[in-house]
């Protein structure tokens, strides 16, 4: 399914709150914070010239977030950053003086963090990031997971010392349960989705994601003409679209938001012209994108800065994992988890469909930018789908060999 943005807010300037949260100054601050992180390295930008030739475009660049901060997904940028910011803010209040990131590990700040509990609901990746931020600062973390989250993903979060709480039902039900219990216990909810009256912390989470856009703009020979970003609640799509709109103004690329057909909450929201919750259907293999209600802040940005919305099918997600593991024509391999390559799957679909290609003005000069939002965050699932061990693909990438 494909839809151009025809909502009333389309092409309006961003809301001043979002301009500030996703603007250049905020993004520079995120990168300054990152520089203090031991695990921080700029993630690779991978060119796929062979695939670009095959689908008839000028260039394809993939920002590979499978390498981010040792967590395997771009979510590492958001939750942990928000936790650090909240700890520093609380330290500032308690200690009565300005506190810089450089003081994060000082005994005074650590003592404040030890009195804090951060909580969130997660499909897997966001919780890993919040738990890592808590461990880094010395705060406690309570992470809520719904019944569809694999045991492998739960263990990956528990490894950071977080208390894990299983909740019956879907992701959206786990979001509500986390908020309810956190309220009762005085914990701080660090959610990657927002709802009426709860916007500031999800705004910080999204602000953290801007780092990947800044890095990519520096790594690319020229800014992209087309961007395809996959969405769960829409946070990363909104952060990328919002920051590109601010950084590039009129030269901003044509931006398409991509949902799984089985969990198309942004697509249906765009169709309705207002945020809508959709019915829970069959689960999707794109586990991290299985969200049934958009983030309100994300929608406020995307309704203005996204040009189109489209869906991909289950088979597309599986095919792209395999294509990236066994690339064509001399392209390097990329390890992409079930939700990682979905933006690229949509780009390939768009280029192959004459109506979508025309609607988005894709031609042989187009420079497409996508994000591999996760590596093999569930290695068992990766092997099941591709028939390859993630470590084997990664070793071949290191050697520069094709599989
Ligand atoms: C790997 C991956 N890709 C994409 C997304 C979608 O991000 P958002 O929920 O901000 O739209 C997620 C969310 O958890 C994710 O983990």
What is the pLDDT tens value at each position of the chain, 403 positions in all? 999 999 999 999 999 999 999 999 999 999 999 999 999 999 999 999 999 999 999 999 999 999 999 999 999 999 999 999 999 999 999 999 999 999 999 999 999 999 999 999 998 999 999 999 999 999 999 999 999 899 999 999 999 999 999 999 988 899 999 999 999 999 999 999 999 999 999 999 999 999 999 999 999 999 999 999 999 999 999 999 999 999 999 999 999 999 999 999 999 999 999 999 999 889 999 999 999 999 999 999 999 999 999 999 999 999 999 999 999 878 999 999 999 999 999 999 999 999 999 999 999 999 999 999 999 999 999 999 999 999 999 988 877 765 4
Atom of ligand 1 at shortest distance to CA of 209?
A: 10
- Give the model's pLDDT for residue 291: 92
CATH of segment(s) 79-191: 3.40.50.1100
Sign of the four-CA dihedral 368, 310, 272, 189: negative
Just list the catalytic residues: 75, 123
Task: Tell me the whole-structure pTM to 2 decimals.
Answer: 0.96
d(CA 338, CA 288): 8
The Å distance, Cα 229 to ligand 1 centre, comes to: 10
Residue 195 sits at φ, ψ, to 5 deg, of -145, 170
d(CA 126, CA 141): 12
| CATH 3.40.50.1100 boundaries in the chain | 2-73+203-399, 79-191
Q: 184 Cβ partners below 8 Å, 6+ apart?
A: none
Token output for 85: 């910011």
* Relative orientation angle of helices 390-399 and 379-386, to the nearest 10 degrees: 80
- Give the model's pLDDT for residue 305: 98
d(CA 382, CA 336): 8
Residue 261 sits at φ, ψ, to 5 deg, of -60, -30
Instruction: Indicate the top mutation candidate among 289, 294, 300, 370 to test ligand 1's pocket, ranked by most ligand atoms within 8 A of CB.
Output: 289
List all residues whose CB is within 6 A of at least one atom of ligand 1: 73, 75, 123, 125-126, 192, 230-237, 288-289, 291, 339-340, 373-374
- Give the model's pLDDT for residue 259: 98
Atom of ligand 1 at shortest distance to CA of 337?
A: 1
Q: 95 Cβ partners below 8 Å, 6+ apart?
A: 108, 109, 112
The Å distance, Cα 289 to ligand 1 centre, comes to: 6
The Å distance, Cα 235 to ligand 1 centre, comes to: 7
10 Å Cβ neighbour count for 1? 13
d(CA 89, CA 182): 19
The Å distance, Cα 231 to ligand 1 centre, comes to: 6
Q: For domain 2-73+203-399, is the CATH number 3.40.50.1100?
A: yes
Instruction: Indicate the top mutation candidate among 74, 121, 232, 242 to test ligand 1's pocket, ranked by most ligand atoms within 8 A of CB.
Output: 232
d(CA 350, CA 37): 38
Query: Angle at the Cα of 247 (from 241 to 248), degrees rounded to 5?
Result: 85
Structural contact between residues 172 and 293, judged by C-beta atoms closer than 8 angstroms = yes
């Amino acid at each position: 399914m494909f839809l151009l943005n025809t909502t009333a807010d389309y092409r309006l300037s961003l809301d001043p709150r979002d301009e500030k949260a996703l603007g250049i100054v905020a993004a520079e601050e995120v990168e300054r914070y990152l520089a203090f992180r031991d695990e921080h390295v700029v993630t690779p930008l991978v060119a796929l010239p062979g695939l670009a030739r095959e689908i008839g475009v000028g260039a394809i660049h993939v920002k590979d977030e499978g390498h981010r901060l040792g967590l395997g997904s771009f979510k590492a940028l958001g939750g942990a950053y928000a936790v650090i910011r909240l700890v520093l803010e609380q330290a500032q209040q308690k200690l009565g003086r300005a506190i810089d990131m450089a003081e994060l590990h000082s005994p005074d700040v650590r003592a404040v963090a030890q009195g804090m509990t951060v909580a969130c609901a997660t499909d897997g990746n966001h919780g890993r990031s919040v738990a890592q931020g808590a461990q880094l600062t010395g705060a406690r973390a309570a992470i809520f997971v719904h019944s569809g989250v694999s045991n492998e993903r739960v263990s990956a979060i528990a490894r950071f010392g977080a208390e894990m709480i299983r909740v019956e039902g879907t992701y959206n039900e786990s979001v509500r349960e986390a908020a309810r219990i956190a309220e009762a216990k005085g914990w701080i909810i660090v959610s990657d989705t927002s709802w009426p009256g709860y916007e500031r912390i999800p705004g910080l989470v999204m602000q953290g994601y801007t780092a990947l856009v800044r890095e990519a703009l520096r790594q690319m020979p020229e800014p992209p003409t087309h961007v395809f970003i996959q969405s769960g609640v829409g946070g990363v799509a909104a952060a990328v679209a919002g920051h590109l709109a601010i950084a590039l103004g009129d030269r901003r690329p044509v931006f398409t938001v991509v949902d799984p057909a089985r969990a198309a909450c942004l697509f249906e929201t765009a169709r309705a012209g207002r945020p809508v919750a959709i019915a829970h259907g069959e689960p999707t293999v794109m586990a991290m994108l299985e969200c049934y209600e958009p983030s309100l802040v994300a929608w406020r940005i995307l309704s203005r800065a996204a040009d189109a919305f489209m869906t991909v099918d289950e088979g597309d997600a599986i095919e792209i994992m395999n294509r990236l593991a066994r690339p064509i024509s001399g392209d390097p391999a990329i390890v992409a988890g079930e939700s990682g390559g979905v933006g690229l799957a949509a780009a390939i679909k768009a280029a192959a469909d004459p109506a979508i290609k025309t609607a988005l003005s894709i031609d042989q000069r187009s420079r497409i930018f996508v994000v591999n939002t996760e590596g093999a965050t569930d290695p068992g699932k990766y092997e099941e789908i591709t028939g390859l061990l993630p470590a084997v693909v990664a070793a071949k990438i290191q050697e520069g060999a094709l599989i």
